[in-house]
């Protein structure tokens, strides 16, 4: 029986190398001491953290602990950073004082600029030590690859024209790529594993107007 796509249960650990994540990949390969990588939701930040934590022998954490006991570099994978928290300042200061490397992966959009943040001054001064890198929104080539990859992760294969057609109806975001794969899976399930361009058009006409 065909199942609907589940983003949470996906075992996909493949990273698609692209111009959108090229700078992030490069700086992780260089293993710099203080790095802050921001990117949209579902842009592969956690996959990068897992891959390079193994390569660079770093410990991954997903929250800011109250008790700070690290003897090696750390990757903090945390979408929303507590920029007004004294605890976050002490966390940053710990790595600076102990000369330990820290790389932060966040969905907080810094756009290579810290000047407009609502942030505690002490935190801002520590963040200025970090190299800021952004993962950019997906362009058409990457969007196609993302939809194709996510379908393959569910053992689904469709003709390229199906993916190209559905791209006419979605925004250029990582989340929309996942939702497009979900839509294809849904249509296959509802139509006895058959899909065509008309079905896609009818589906999106029911939920939105095509992008002009």
Q: What is the dihedral of CA 95, 96, 102, 107, to 10 degrees?
A: 100
Give me the pLDDT at residue 112, please: 59
Of 134, 155, 175, which closes a domain?
134
CA distances from 67 to 102, 110, 143, 145 (A): 16, 27, 41, 42
Of 71, 99, 134, which closes a domain?
134
Give me the pLDDT at residue 7, please: 41
* Domain co-membership, 116 together with 158: no
CATH code for position 153: 1.10.8
* Domain co-membership, 46 together with 146: no
CATH code for position 37: 3.40.50.300
Q: How far is CA 169 from the centre of its chain?
A: 22
How much of the chain is in helix, strand and coil states, percent to nearest 5? 45, 10, 45
Give me the pLDDT at residue 4, please: 36
Give me the pLDDT at residue 118, please: 85
What is residue 38's three-state secondary structure? strand
Give me the pLDDT at residue 111, please: 64
Give me the pLDDT at residue 100, please: 97
* Domain co-membership, 65 together with 29: yes
Alpha carbon distance 70, 73 (integer Å)? 8
* Domain co-membership, 122 together with 148: no
Of 107, 134, 161, which closes a domain?
134
| Among the listed residues 101, 171, 111, the one whose alpha carbon sits nearest the alpha carbon of residue 136 | 111
* Domain co-membership, 113 together with 150: no
* Domain co-membership, 124 together with 27: yes
Question: Structure tokens of 54?
Answer: 């193994």
Digitized pLDDT (tens) for each residue of the chain, 212 residues in all: 233 333 444 445 788 999 999 999 999 999 999 999 999 999 999 999 999 999 999 999 999 998 999 999 999 999 999 999 999 999 999 999 999 999 999 998 776 567 677 889 999 999 999 999 999 999 999 999 999 999 999 999 999 999 999 999 999 999 999 999 999 999 999 998 899 999 999 999 888 754 55
* Domain co-membership, 110 together with 178: no
Give me the pLDDT at residue 210, please: 45
Domains of the chain: total: 2
pLDDT tens digits, residue range 75-127?
Answer: 999 999 999 999 999 999 999 999 999 999 999 877 656 767 788 999 999 99
Q: Kindly state whether residue 212 falls inside one of the protein's structural domains.
A: no
Give me the pLDDT at residue 94, please: 97
CB 150 within 8 A of CB 10: yes
* Domain co-membership, 125 together with 154: no
Burial 4-27 (b: 16+ CB within 10 A, else e): ebeeeeeeeeeeeebebbeebbeb
Give pTM, 2 decimals.
0.84
Alpha carbon distance 185, 190 (integer Å)? 9
Domain that holds residue 91: 22-134
């Amino acid at each position: 029986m065909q199942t609907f796509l589940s983003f949470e249960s996906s075992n996909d650990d493949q990273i698609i190398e692209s111009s959108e994540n090229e700078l992030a990949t490069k700086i992780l390969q260089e293993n710099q001491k203080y790095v802050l990588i921001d990117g949209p939701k579902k842009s592969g930040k956690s996959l990068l953290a897992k891959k390079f934590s193994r390569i660079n022998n770093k410990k991954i954490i997903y929250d800011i602990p109250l008790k700070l006991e690290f003897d090696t570099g750390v990757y903090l994978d945390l979408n929303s950073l507590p920029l007004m928290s004294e605890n976050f300042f002490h966390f940053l200061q710990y790595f600076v004082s102990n000369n330990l490397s820290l790389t932060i992966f966040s969905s907080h959009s810094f756009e290579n600029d810290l000047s407009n943040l609502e942030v505690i001054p002490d935190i801002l001064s520590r963040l200025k030590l970090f190299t800021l890198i952004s993962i950019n929104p997906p362009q058409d080539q990457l969007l196609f690859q993302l939809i194709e990859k996510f379908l393959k992760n569910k053992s689904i294969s469709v003709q390229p024209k199906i993916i190209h057609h559905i791209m006419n109806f979605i925004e250029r975001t990582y989340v929309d790529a996942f939702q497009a794969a979900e839509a294809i899976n849904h249509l296959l399930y509802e139509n006895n594993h058959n899909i065509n361009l008309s079905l896609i058009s009818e589906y999106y006409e029911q939920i939105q107007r095509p992008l002009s």
